Structure 1
Amino acid sequence: MATPNSLQQQQDYFRSVSSESTTYMMVPATAAAANTRRDAAPSKVWVAMVVIVVVVLQIASTTGLFVYLNMSISQVRSQGVTEELKCLSLLNALDKDQDIPEDLAQLFGEPCIKLAEGIKAYISKVRLTPYSLNKARTLPRTFNTSGSKFATSVPQRPSAHLTLRDSSAQGSPSYPTPQPDLHQSCRHAVRSWANQSFGAHLHNMTLANGRLRVPQDGRYYLYSQVYFRYPSLNEGDQHTASHQLVQCVYKKTSYLRPIQLLKGVGTKCWAPDAEYALHSVYQGGLFELRAGDELFVSVSSPSMVHAEDSSSYFGAFRLDL
């Protein structure tokens, strides 16, 4: 009777026709799996070795290319510095007003010649700029008899600085007629401006009837100061010890009514025992003006305006903005 172990052995292999032969006709399953693992292990090792070799070659080639590029850049830089030094030595050997000979131009090459010519042009420009500025500053100026006007060959911007003269000494009415088209607080236009005093001038602008005419479009800075001098008060006029002083700057255009640009107001309470009460109103501003505009100043109390060159003045000048 066959035992279980003998039956298991009979299932693992087949016998040949001869019942006496004990040779296996089929390898057992456990032995086949062991052989498969032994065959797969060498193939994995070869794949890993190939990958490592490829990575090493990639790193080596990248490193070599980087080193080669650095060496090439260094060589080009050193060669460029050498060429520039040669060009500078060539430029130093030549006089500042001497042209470069053709044989030297062919010897050194076109880039070197361009560099030398550029350096020469820059040196000439640097030397010429201070000379031009110094020459412009030392241009002769012609003064008129009053010393208020001067002219040079350099174009001048429109500008004016006018001072107030005593209208009573010129035979003009001391108190001008108020203009109804002006603001109620300053209806008396000041017309006694002049450019005959020391420091006053009138450049590329015209003055007529106290109005300053703008010759060019642009941005102008306008300024004005009026010096008010109030006489001493009588004992019966104590209620008038306070007075309002107003100064305005107007622009007359093609419109019917003048346009008010600036307005300054000062209210002062003066001591009744003072011989004179003094006060000045100053104002200034930047405005966009057109050619043909007329500028003028008006005040509230023309009888109090004091004509003095350094105290009452009116001016304008154009800014290149």
Structure 2
Amino acid sequence: MRTSAGMENSQPRFDSAPINESTYRWFVVRVLLIMGLLQIASSVALVMYFSHQIAQVSSNCSMQNNAQCLNESQWKAIQDLLEKNKQESLAPVADALIGPRREFRVPERLHCKTKKDQKQSALPPEKPSAHLPIRADKNFIQNTTRPTMIYWDSSNGLAHIHNMSYSDGKIKVNQEGLYYVYAKTCFRHNLEVSEELRAVENGIQLLQYVYHIKHTRQHENLLLMKSGSVKHWNKHVKFRLYCIHQGGLFPLKSGDDLFVKVSYASLLDPTQEASYLGAFKLE
């Protein structure tokens, strides 16, 4: 028994617990180190990718007027990624990604705009308006008292037309509302060019009519304004001038037309300052 016990006591004993614990700790350290390196590598790759994309978009938008910028959905995806990274304690990576966003401010709308576009978008929409002088090259029939439609110039001199249209002597309304309508015509008497007045000794009736074509199925003509006078222009008077100016407020609808008729249209002053037709929408 003693011999057996002595032999057992003489045999070396190996304690495996310290070796296993050390190996386990070293394995855990290596795993954490590898995970950390992979996370850092992926973060750096994200920084480089998004920085390149943002720099490229910024360069394109500064060099081209019609370049497309990142839209709101794309920026939202980036911001979501940043929030996720922040939650994972990657503050340096998040700051690197959001930095270019702070430097390059993208408008709230989907596309970049030039300074000219931004200036135009800041202006309120232009109200409907028109001012058309008489066409100087229009030759009217002489020796007639029958009212004749006047034709206007929509593209030269003092002419302008916005959010309205013009065709064949008529201004067309495109937006319903309350409009101020005005018209002016000047008749001039010059014996050197007005041969028809040599026979007029008892007076000449000069009239101006402003009409409104109501946009209905019948397209009925309504007389808005009328003015005139009887002038005694005879062969003993070499030169005379008479002007008629009218204006008033009228409710108009989209599709309605405005036009002017006058008697003795051949006597009209052809200068753009003397005879014109206009309208503009009020608030």
- Aligned-pair distance for 1:161? 0.5
Asked if the contact 1:186–1:248 (Cα under 8 Å) also holds between the matched residues in 2, the reply is no
The one-letter code sitting in structure 1 at the alignment partner of 2:141 is Y
Q: Pick 1 or 2: higher relative contact order, CA cutoff 8 A, min separation 6.
A: 2
* Gaps in structure 1 of 5+ consecutive residues: 1-138, 142-150, 179-184
Give the structure 2 partner of residue 175 of structure 1.
141
The one-letter code sitting in structure 2 at the alignment partner of 1:201 is H
Of 287, 293, 307, which aligns to 2:270?
307
Asked if the contact 1:186–1:246 (Cα under 8 Å) also holds between the matched residues in 2, the reply is no
Asked if the contact 1:246–1:264 (Cα under 8 Å) also holds between the matched residues in 2, the reply is yes
Asked if the contact 1:167–1:174 (Cα under 8 Å) also holds between the matched residues in 2, the reply is no
Q: Distance in 1 between matches of 2:122 and 2:229?
A: 41
The 5 A counterparts of 1:213-292 are 213-232=172-191, 237=198, 239-240=200-201, 242-253=203-214, 254=216, 255-270=218-233, 272-292=235-255
- Aligned-pair distance for 1:300? 1.1
The one-letter code sitting in structure 2 at the alignment partner of 1:251 is H
Q: Distance in 2 between matches of 1:221 and 1:186?
A: 27
- Aligned-pair distance for 1:267? 1.5
Q: Deviations over 1:216-241 (max 9, x none)?
A: 1111000000011123277x946535
Of 153, 157, 163, which aligns to 1:194?
153
Q: Distance in 1 between matches of 2:184 and 2:207?
A: 11
Give the structure 2 partner of residue 162 of structure 1.
132
Instruction: Report the 3-state secondary structure (helix = DSSP H, G, I; strand = E; otherwise coil) of the residue aligned with 2:255.
Output: coil
The 5 A counterparts of 1:115-126 are none
* Gaps in structure 2 of 5+ consecutive residues: 1-117
Q: Distance in 1 between matches of 2:237 and 2:147?
A: 28
TM-score normalised by L of structure 2:
0.51
- For the structure 1 residues 319 and 302, does the alpha-carbon distance in structure 2 shift closer, same or farther, using more than 3 Å as the test? same
TM-score normalised by L of structure 1:
0.45
Instruction: Report the 3-state secondary structure (helix = DSSP H, G, I; strand = E; otherwise coil) of the residue aligned with 1:274.
Output: coil
Give the structure 1 partner of residue 80 of structure 2.
none
Instruction: Report the 3-state secondary structure (helix = DSSP H, G, I; strand = E; otherwise coil) of the residue aligned with 2:270.
Output: coil
- Aligned-pair distance for 1:187? 2.7
Instruction: Report the 3-state secondary structure (helix = DSSP H, G, I; strand = E; otherwise coil) of the residue aligned with 2:273.
Output: coil
Q: Deviations over 1:155-198 (max 9, x none)?
A: 01100011012134xxxx5339x9xxxxxx7631112x113333
Give the structure 2 partner of residue 316 of structure 1.
279
Q: Deviations over 1:204-258 (max 9, x none)?
A: 0000001000011111000000011123277x94653521100001011223441
| Total equivalences in the alignment | 161
- Aligned-pair distance for 1:140? 5.8
Q: Distance in 2 between matches of 1:152 and 1:164?
A: 34
- For the structure 1 residues 186 and 295, does the alpha-carbon distance in structure 2 shift closer, same or farther, using more than 3 Å as the test? farther
Q: Which has the larger radius of gyration?
A: 1
Asked if the contact 1:186–1:298 (Cα under 8 Å) also holds between the matched residues in 2, the reply is no
Asked if the contact 1:163–1:312 (Cα under 8 Å) also holds between the matched residues in 2, the reply is yes
- For the structure 1 residues 152 and 165, does the alpha-carbon distance in structure 2 shift closer, same or farther, using more than 3 Å as the test? farther
Q: Distance in 1 between matches of 2:208 and 2:175?
A: 26
Instruction: Report the 3-state secondary structure (helix = DSSP H, G, I; strand = E; otherwise coil) of the residue aligned with 1:315.
Output: strand
Aligned-residue RMSD, C-alpha: 2.9
Q: Distance in 2 between matches of 1:206 and 1:256?
A: 18
Q: Distance in 2 between matches of 1:202 and 1:244?
A: 32
- For the structure 1 residues 287 and 216, does the alpha-carbon distance in structure 2 shift closer, same or farther, using more than 3 Å as the test? same
The 5 A counterparts of 1:77-226 are 153-168=123-138, 173-175=139-141, 187-191=147-151, 193-226=152-185
Instruction: Report the 3-state secondary structure (helix = DSSP H, G, I; strand = E; otherwise coil) of the residue aligned with 1:303.
Output: helix
Q: Distance in 1 between matches of 2:238 and 2:155?
A: 30
Q: What fraction of aligned residue pairs are identical, expressed as a percent?
A: 32
